[in-house]
């Protein structure tokens, strides 16, 4: 699915990612954790194709193709979902119309017929249930005046509609309450099917109480310094990151 080889990236001449290696196979859920400032969001942003970052080493294979050479739109069409790559607000374009265009573009790229209005509505109804999203958010302009929780719900709703091969979610630590965390978890769990993969970047150990990952990686100073299974997340909850940092420093 995804193979990251020795990925290095910098921003404003500051080296942030210093050789990331990670392989994600179909159906796997990987959690990326780590202390603040370790490069988690940078990694997610580089995979999303955000332009502020300069890649200065390594490569990323996505479904057998070189991801870093694709535009963000091509990445999406190939089946990558990146929550925060999302437009903040689009005045004048309803949530429904935005989504319909996005879904049909992806279907077209896959060589599938676009959804007609009836099928699209049926799909919407089905997926709205997964995130328990209010109908009233559908006719409103995308994200305009949405609360934090509504934005999060809507983002996960879009993920469910777009049916990605690989979804990368960067859950930053700004103002998500437990209900919003559960929405994210329910959305991810409902879409887990043994084929679709997820990378969940999280500052919250708590999220992993709801999304049980297959693998957990700790990022520190731009490198993955430890990998394990879900038990590693529990260990981190109990002991924090200091013991890992100490291990790393003793090796240096
Ligand atoms: P995390 O998500 O793990 O908290 P980030 O990827 O956001 O870490 O940040 C990693 C490092 O990159 C930090 O030292 C941060 O200050 C730096 N950084 C991130 N974005 C920028 C930016 N736009 N300009 C300068 N430095 C940045
Ligand atoms: Mg941070
Ligand atoms: Mg971050």
Neighbours of 122 (CB within 10 A): 12
User: Is 18 in contact with 221 (CB distance < 8 Å)?
Assistant: yes
| Tally of domains in the chain | 1
CA–CA gap between residue 207 and residue 210 (Å, rounded): 6
| Residue 94: CATH number of its domain | 3.40.50.300
User: Is 77 in contact with 109 (CB distance < 8 Å)?
Assistant: yes
User: Is 180 in contact with 148 (CB distance < 8 Å)?
Assistant: yes
Q: Tens digit of pLDDT per residue, the chain (252 long)?
A: 999 999 999 999 999 999 999 999 999 999 999 998 999 999 999 998 888 899 999 999 999 999 999 998 899 889 999 876 555 677 788 989 989 999 999 999 889 999 999 999 999 999 998 888 889 989 888 888 888 888 888 989 999 999 999 999 987 655 677 888 888 899 999 999 999 999 999 877 888 889 999 999 999 999 999 999 999 999 998 999 999 999 988 987
Provide the whole-model pTM: 0.92
Tokens, residue 16 = 């942030």
Cα angle vertex 131, ends 129, 135, to 5°? Answer: 65
- The number of the ligand 1 atom at minimal distance from the alpha carbon of 35 is 3
CA–CA gap between residue 216 and residue 105 (Å, rounded): 33
* Interface confidence (ipTM) of the complex: 0.94
Domain extent at residue 46:
2-251
> Among 16, 43, 168, 217, which residue has the most ligand 1 atoms within 8 Å of its CB, making it the best to mutate?
16
| Residues within a 6 A CB radius of ligand 1 | 11-12, 14, 16, 34, 36-42, 52
pLDDT at 216: 97
Neighbours of 25 (CB within 10 A): 12
């Amino acid at each position: 699915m995804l193979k990251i080889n020795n990925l290095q990236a910098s921003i404003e001449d500051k080296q942030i990612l210093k050789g990331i290696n990670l392989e994600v196979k179909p159906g796997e859920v990987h959690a990326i954790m780590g202390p603040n400032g370790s490069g988690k969001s940078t990694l997610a942003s580089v995979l999303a194709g955000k332009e502020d970052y300069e890649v200065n080493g390594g490569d990323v294979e996505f479904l057998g193709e070189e991801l870093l050479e694709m535009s963000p739109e091509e990445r999406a069409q190939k089946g990558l979902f990146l929550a925060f790559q999302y437009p903040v607000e689009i005045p004048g374009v309803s949530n429904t119309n935005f989504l319909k265009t996005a879904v049909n573009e992806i279907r077209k790229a896959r060589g599938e017929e676009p959804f007609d209005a009836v099928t699209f509505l049926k799909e919407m109804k089905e997926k709205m249930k997964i995130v328990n999203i209010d109908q009233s958010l559908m006719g409103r302009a995308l994200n305009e005046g949405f609360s934090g929780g509504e934005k999060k719900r809507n983002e996960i709703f879009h993920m469910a509609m777009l049916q990605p091969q690989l979804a990368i979610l960067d859950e930053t630590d700004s103002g998500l309450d437990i209900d919003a965390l559960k929405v994210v978890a329910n959305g991810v769990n409902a879409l887990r099917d043994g084929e679709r993969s997820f990378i969940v970047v999280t500052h919250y150990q708590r999220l992993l109480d709801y999304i049980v990952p297959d693998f957990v990686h700790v990022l520190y100073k731009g490198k993955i310094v430890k990998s394990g299974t879900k038990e590693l997340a529990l260990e981190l909850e109990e002991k924090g990151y200091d013991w890992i940092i100490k291990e790393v420093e003793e090796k240096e």
